[in-house]
Amino acid sequence: MGRVGKEVVDRLGAAILIVLLLPLYLMIALIVVIDDGWPVIYRRRVVGTKGEFDAYKFRSMRRGAGAMLDQDPALKREYERNFKLRQDPRLTSAGALLRKYSLDELPQLFNVLKGQMSLVGPRMITAQELSKYGPYRDLLMTTKPGLTGYWQTRGRQDTTYEERVRMDVHYITHWSLALDLQILFETPWKVIRGKGAY
């Protein structure tokens, strides 16, 4: 019943939030276009329980951001170490603000509605990152990635990659609907503070 309940909360919650947040979606889309043109949505290829899929995000990086990494070996090494950059030169002005308050993640509600993601779950990662999970790789693949999760409410980017892995494993092995509801309750406060996000 617990997993069925999680699925119901995911689909129903995503549908309600999409409707309520529609004016915000339109406003953010307009800001992205004014700041750096089209496209508005960036598709990030990530892994889920049924293989890879495109996770939707409001575009926060400049067009041609991938080439910027290839042209700077030191920057590329830093990115490959943590798959994040603390001072990311690829971000647009609007993108930095969207990242700080996690607003770039809002389109992932459509991924939740499609059954590819959950409102709460482990971090969303690329296939390239799977090796960092070592013996926990198969365990990670048993649970849908979340729009928010244990890691997002307990440190966000101010943690090492190893700590993030431990948090994901803790969430999966200690999962309950009560834990999901606790994380959902804590998330807005963490997002508003904007601490540990970049």
Q: State phi, psi for 146 to the nearest 5 degrees.
A: -110, 150
The distance from CA 126 to its chain's CA centroid, rounded to whole angstroms, is 11
User: Rounded distance, CA 44 to CA 28, Å?
Assistant: 18
Tens of pLDDT, residues 14-26: 999 999 999 999 9
pLDDT confidence of residue 152: 85
Q: State phi, psi for 12 to the nearest 5 degrees.
A: -70, -45
Mean pLDDT value of segment 66-94? 77
Name the residue with higher pLDDT: 121 or 155: 121
User: Rounded distance, CA 131 to CA 83, Å?
Assistant: 13
**What are the tokens at 192?**
């508003």
User: Rounded distance, CA 149 to CA 154, Å?
Assistant: 9
pLDDT confidence of residue 157: 66
Mean pLDDT value of segment 122-138? 94
Mean pLDDT value of segment 70-88? 74
Tens of pLDDT, residues 151-177: 888 876 678 889 999 999 999 999 999
pTM of the model: 0.89
pLDDT confidence of residue 1: 56
Mean pLDDT value of segment 65-89? 74
Using alpha carbons, list the distances in angstroms from residue 22 to 27, 105, 114, 127.
9, 14, 17, 31
| Local confidence band at 149 (pLDDT 50, 70, 90 cut-offs) | very high
Rounded to a whole number of angstroms, the CA Rg of the chain reads 16
pLDDT of residue 142 exceeding 80, the answer is yes
**Domain boundaries of the chain, sorted by first residue:** 2-189
Length of the chain: 198
Beta bridge pairs of residue 148: 120
User: Rounded distance, CA 17 to CA 40, Å?
Assistant: 20
pLDDT confidence of residue 28: 98
**What are the tokens at 84?**
């994040």
